[in-house]
Amino acid sequence: MDARIKLVALVVSLIAISITSSNLAFAVYSAMLVVLAAGTRISLGKLLGKAWAMLAFLLALALVVFLSGEPARAIIFLERSTLSAIAAMLFIAATPVNDLIRALDWFRVPNPLLLTIQFLYRYLFVISNQARQMRFAAASRGGFRFRSAAGAIAVLFMRSWQRADGIYSAMLARGFTGKFLQ
């Protein structure tokens, strides 16, 4: 399906969730999400398993409201936020990031921002791997101290900067004209 339609559907359902406070409606939304997940052959269990840290955060935030003497409201917040998060998870599981970026381009998201998002996503895993290696190396020496962690980040920063220069040269060599979505 077209990512633009999926994006609009996601936003519409998030808006519906955000203005709902009846438990019956939440039950209907949950059923719809389960059907949707079944239709796209995405395992909800797997998605939720991956997102346990985020769900724990939602639970903690709702717990704050609960402990502040508003238990009914806390439950509504928890229902809303969990359903919203599941809807967003289904969307991204069913939409390749490149399609999402193309949809955002169609919705007139400014070009400098889109280029930044594209480069960020492309190099996220490369630079994260670098950071992971540094962390591993530090752990085998007994872990980071405050100063050595700052030093590691400084090295990571300079390497990223140099990498960006190299990327630009490579782009020019391949005939880059200012936009790479086609």
In the region spanning residues 48 to 77, those forming contacts with another protein, defined by CB under 8 A, are 51, 54, 57-58, 61, 64-65, 67-70, 73, 77
33: contact with another protein by CB under 8 A: no
- Number of residues in contact with another protein, rule: CB under 8 A? 80
As measured in angstroms, the least distance from the Cβ of 77 to another protein is 6
Distance CA 124, CA 53 (A): 20
- Whole-angstrom Cα Rg for the chain: 21
Q: Give CA separation, 110 vs 7, 143, 163, in Å.
A: 17, 42, 24
36: contact with another protein by CB under 8 A: no
As measured in angstroms, the least distance from the Cβ of 160 to another protein is 4
25: contact with another protein by CB under 8 A: no
Q: Which is nearer to another protein, 34 or 131 (CB)?
A: 131
124: contact with another protein by CB under 8 A: yes
Cα three-residue angle 48-54-56, rounded to 5 degrees? 95
Are residues 74 and 62 in contact, defined by beta-carbon separation less than 8 angstroms?
Answer: yes
